[in-house]
C-alpha cells in the first residue's frame, strides 16, 4: 500500500487526478470505477481541466459507478447518476453510453445487482477503482456488517451514513434509507484502487482501516489485502 499524506484538498485532488490521468493515457480503453460524494469533486474538476486542455481523452473509456440510492430517479438532483452527469460526464469527452451507474429504480433490484456484476465481468473487470470512505469505514455503500458481501447488492444505510449525507438533502427525512452498491468482489478484483479522504474527522477511520484489524466491521479494512492500493489523505 502507498499512503500519501498531503496538506490540502487541492493537492489531494491534483494527485488523484494525475493517477487517473496516467491510467487513461497508458490504457485509453480503461474501465474506471468511479465514486460520488464530496471527496472526488475536486478530482473530477481537475480531470475536466485536463480534458479541456486536450491533455486527456476519455472517448474510449468505460465507467462503472459504485452505487446509487434506491428509489431516486436519474432526474433527481440527489441521485448519483445526476451527480456523475453534472460533476464529471458533462465536462469530459466520455461517451455517455459507456457510463454505468446501478439503477436504483429497477423493479427487481436483485436482478439489477446480478446484471451489474455480469456487466463488470464482461468488461474484464475494473482497471482503476476510485473510492471515498464513510465515517463508519464504508466503501461504496458496503456498511459495517458481520461479513464482507461479494456481489452488487441492496443495503440499508447506517444511521451515521444517513446523518452524514443529510447535508446534501433538504432534511434528514429525505435521505433514502436504502442503496444498491457494488460489493467487495468487484472492488477487490480491480487492478488498482485509489482511495481519497480529507478532513480531520476522517483520520481515525482511515487509520483504523489501513492499520487496524481486517474486519467487516470496518469495511475498508479489506483493502489491506489488495495488492495495489494508493491512499491519499489530507487533514484539511
Q: Give whichever of 34 and 61 is closer to ligand F6R, judged by the CB atom.
A: 34
Nearest to 193 by CA among 136, 121, 117, 139: 139
The catalytically annotated residue of 46, 112, 143, 153 is: 143
Chain residue at closest Cβ approach to ligand F6R: 132
Known catalytic membership, residue 143: yes
Q: Give whichever of 55 and 172 is closer to ligand F6R, judged by the CB atom.
A: 172
**Helical packing angle, 41-52 and 9-26, nearest 10°:** 50
Q: Report the distance separating Cα 164 and Cα 135, nearest Å.
A: 8
Cβ atoms 135, 39 nearer than 8 A = no
- Total length of the chain: 236
Known catalytic membership, residue 136: yes
The catalytically annotated residue of 68, 112, 117, 138 is: 138
Q: Report helix, strand or coil for 204.
A: helix
Known catalytic membership, residue 67: yes
How many CB atoms are located within 10 Å of the residue 83 CB? 22
Q: Report the distance separating Cα 101 and Cα 109, nearest Å.
A: 13
The catalytically annotated residue of 67, 68, 112, 127 is: 67
Query: Minimal distance in Å, beta carbon 137 to ligand F6R?
Result: 10
Q: Give whichever of 38 and 85 is closer to ligand F6R, judged by the CB atom.
A: 38
Q: Report helix, strand or coil for 198.
A: strand
Q: Report the distance separating Cα 116 and Cα 108, nearest Å.
A: 12
Q: Give whichever of 62 and 142 is closer to ligand F6R, judged by the CB atom.
A: 142
Query: Minimal distance in Å, beta carbon 88 to ligand F6R?
Result: 12
Query: Minimal distance in Å, beta carbon 64 to ligand F6R?
Result: 11
DSSP secondary structure of 106-146: -S-HHHHHHHHHHHHHHTTS-SEEEE---TT--BTTB-S-S
Query: Minimal distance in Å, beta carbon 135 to ligand F6R?
Result: 8
Query: Minimal distance in Å, beta carbon 210 to ligand F6R?
Result: 16
Where on the chain is the footprint of ligand F6R (CB under 6 A)? 35-39, 66-67, 132-134, 138-140
Q: Give whichever of 104 and 127 is closer to ligand F6R, judged by the CB atom.
A: 104
- Tell me which residues are annotated as active site: 67, 136, 138, 143
Amino acid at each position: 500500500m502507498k499512503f500519501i499524506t498531503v496538506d490540502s484538498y487541492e493537492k489531494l485532488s491534483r494527485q488523484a487526478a494525475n493517477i487517473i490521468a496516467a491510467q487513461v493515457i497508458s490504457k485509453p480503453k480503461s474501465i474506471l470505477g468511479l465514486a460520488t460524494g464530496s471527496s472526488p469533486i475536486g478530482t473530477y474538476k481537475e480531470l475536466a481541466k485536463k480534458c479541456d486542455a486536450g491533455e486527456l481523452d476519455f472517448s474510449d473509456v468505460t465507467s462503472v459507478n459504485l452505487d446509487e440510492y434506491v428509489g431516486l430517479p436519474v432526474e433527481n438532483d440527489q441521485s448519483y447518476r445526476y451527480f456523475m452527469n453534472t460533476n464529471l460526464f458533462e465536462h469530459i469527452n466520455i461517451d455517455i453510453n459507456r457510463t454505468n451507474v446501478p439503477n436504483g429504480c429497477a423493479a427487481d433490484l436483485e436482478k439489477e445487482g446480478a446484471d451489474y456484476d455480469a456487466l463488470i465481468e464482461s468488461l474484464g473487470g475494473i482497471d482503476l477503482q476510485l473510492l471515498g470512505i464513510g465515517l463508519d469505514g464504508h466503501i461504496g455503500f458496503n456498511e459495517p456488517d458481520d461479513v464482507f458481501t461479494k456481489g452488487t447488492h441492496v443495503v440499508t444505510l447506517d444511521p451515521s451514513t444517513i446523518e452524514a449525507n443529510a447535508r446534501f438533502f433538504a432534511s434528514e427525512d429525505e435521505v433514502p434509507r436504502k442503496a444498491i452498491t457494488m460489493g467487495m468482489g468487484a472492488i477487490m478484483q480491480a487492478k488498482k484502487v485509489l482511495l481519497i479522504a480529507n478532513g480531520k474527522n476522517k483520520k481515525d477511520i482511515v487509520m483504523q482501516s489501513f492499520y487496524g484489524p481486517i474486519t467487516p466491521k470496518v469495511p475498508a479494512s479489506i483493502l489491506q489485502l489488495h495488492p495495489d492500493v494508493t491512499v491519499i489523505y489530507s487533514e484539511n
